[in-house]
Chains A and B, each alone.
Chain A
Amino acid sequence: MIDRYEIRLSGTGGQGVVLAGIILAEAAGRWREGQYVAQTVSYGPQVRGGMSSAEVVVSSSEIDYPRPISLDLLVPFTQAAATEGVPLLKPKGLVLMDPELVHHSTGWVAEIPLTQLARESTGRIQMINVVALGAMSVLTPVIDPESLKAALDERAPKKARESFHKAALAGQEAALKIRDRIFFEEGAGHED
């Protein structure tokens, strides 16, 4: 039973956070049984640039309030997204961050070099959102590698399917390695 597991992916318009949010919601809400999802977005009128975020709430029962109340997982793709998102975390909420994009965060932090992994596994840093999804399939209870793969297969253009798989796999492997090395960074506003 999952009672409101809340995730926020946020960054700059064009980084693929909304698409990642949709794929995450599909993996959790269609490919896993018995889960309700509500996925919302907030973005500005710009096409590129400006704050952009996708929020996904997953629950075993019907979801009333569709936006996050307190986050279980924050995935920031910029420093600003981290700074803004951290205060919204639950006491045991986790930040999944790429040290290349986010220099500083507080609370429970899982550091995964998303950009580097995207570059190495596919040659395209644009795939960081898929690498992040791969890591999330290990670090969250609402999706798993199988449901993520099913969601990615459906979404990915045929030609890009292989790179999607590689990127997701890179994220999964990295997350498995650091799963026991999630550390707590002291900072204001956090209690364990």
Chain B
Amino acid sequence: MPLNEKAPATRLMQGNEASAEGALAAGVRFYAGYPITPSSEIAEVLAYRLPAFDGTFIQMEDEIASMGAIIGASLAGAKAMTATSGPGFSLMQENIGYACMAEVPCVVVNVMRVGPSTGMPTAPAQGDVQQARWGTHGDHPIIVLSPWSVRECFDLTVRSVNLAEKYRTPVILLMDEVVGHMRENVVLPDPASIPIVNRVTPTVPPEWYIPYEDNPSGVPAMSHFGAGYRHHVTGLHHDVRGFPTLREDEVEDLNKRLFRKISDNLRDIQQVEAYALDDAEIVVVAYGSVARSAKRAVVEARAAGRKVGLLRLITLWPFCRRALERVFPQAKVLVVPEMNRGQMSREVKRVNQGRAEVRTVNRTVGRLIRPDEIMAVF
């Protein structure tokens, strides 16, 4: 058999490697992290590759410092990222809240393993779905994306960086061990074809700059430290100039704007994939590697004449309520398989409001849910 002529362009890579390549393609030039299984390959690839891009890689003393470092780098103008797994993600939570409050664009990749605590480091889980949403204290919006393939690890890392820049917010890329460690043959896109978003920077003279002034998009222009614009950054509730305030009107304005910049743009942020949904009476709602088991289950059930479809969540937060509501006219049963004890099925039940019957498939034994385990509840 002749050899594949396109072999040089085709690469066999892990999801973690693809995520690192996606970061570079999106313009990430600063990475600070503390390696942890099953995310370590992201740090490994970036440690090796970033210097060639004039970028910076720092291995930090822990994940608290890693998160602090990427916030600092981002405030200084760099696109910054870190990667971790459950235990490290817990440590990052306080500073993630700081990034939400101070509106610092940054990307946190969490390759989920089984918890709680050290759990099973080399085994897959999806136990951090609610932590990604509510891990940091206080009310805050957050963007969380979840890939299901190696190619999508690349694409969604690019998208995470772009969304972080566009909305001045931390974005969490929630992978799982299967997706992170799996190798697939992929052809990465031509760099020129990749859309790149950069944060909006101030164009007014420095003395006119009001760092947190509202505008129609809800996303204020962001000045870099050292760019000549006075810019105070704090985790305290602040006024439009960035200084602490307890005034109710100013606090309320800030709270509303932080939510509005996300909730006004759900169409841009929320992404789902529908498969065989048109006449589906049983709809599987899944994400990450489990969605691949679900796809197999749907393909096999369809072959057996069952009216089954798949709604794959690519954006996990903000929860894709509208996409789910579109399946209700004909959906009688919703099936939510997850490698946790039912973290996303809560959301599905909340939106469902008793309209369809919700069935859950939950496994937390450190193994990808098999298609037959999902088919068993069809």
Contacts and interface: CB of A to CB of B under 8 A. Distances in A.
B199 interface: no
Nearest to A144: B1
B182 A65 contact: no
A66 B182 contact: yes
B299 interface: yes
Contacts of A39: 12, 182-184
Nearest to B118: A45
A65 to B, nearest CB: 4
A155 to B, nearest CB: 10
A125 interface: no
A78 to B, nearest CB: 19
Contact of A29 (B5, B123, B185, B371): B185
A59 to B, nearest CB: 11
A43 B4 CA distance: 31
User: Chain B: interface secondary structure?
Assistant: mixed
A1 B80 CA distance: 44
A37 B151 CA distance: 13
Contacts of A69: 296, 370-371
B198 interface: no
Contacts of A44: 122
A33 B184 CA distance: 14
A30 interface: yes
A30 B12 contact: yes
Nearest to A56: B183
A42 B38 CA distance: 12
Contacts of A63: 184, 292
A172 interface: no
A86 interface: no
Interface residues of A, number: 29
A161 to B, nearest CB: 17
Interface residues of B, number: 29
B142 interface: no
Interface string B347-378: 00000000000000000000010110000000
Interface in A35-68: 35-45, 63-67
A1 to B, nearest CB: 14
Contact of A37 (B5, B122, B185, B296): B185
A15 interface: no
Contacts of B5: 33
A22 B183 contact: yes
A37 B12 CA distance: 9
Interface string A17-38: 0000010011001111101111
**Which of B3, B6, B368, B370 has the most chain A CB within a 10 Å cutoff?**
B3
A146 interface: yes
B322 to A, nearest CB: 26
A147 interface: yes
B107 interface: no
B184 A147 contact: no
A150 interface: yes
Contacts of A38: 182-184
A114 to B, nearest CB: 24
Contacts of B183: 22, 25, 37-40
A35 B184 CA distance: 11
A31 B4 contact: yes
17 contacts: A25-B12, A29-B185, A31-B4, A31-B7, A33-B6, A37-B12, A38-B183, A38-B184, A39-B183, A43-B122, A64-B295, A66-B182, A67-B178, A69-B371, A146-B3, A147-B4, A150-B3
Which 5 A/B pairs are nearest by Cβ-Cβ distance? A29-B185, A65-B296, A64-B295, A33-B4, A39-B183
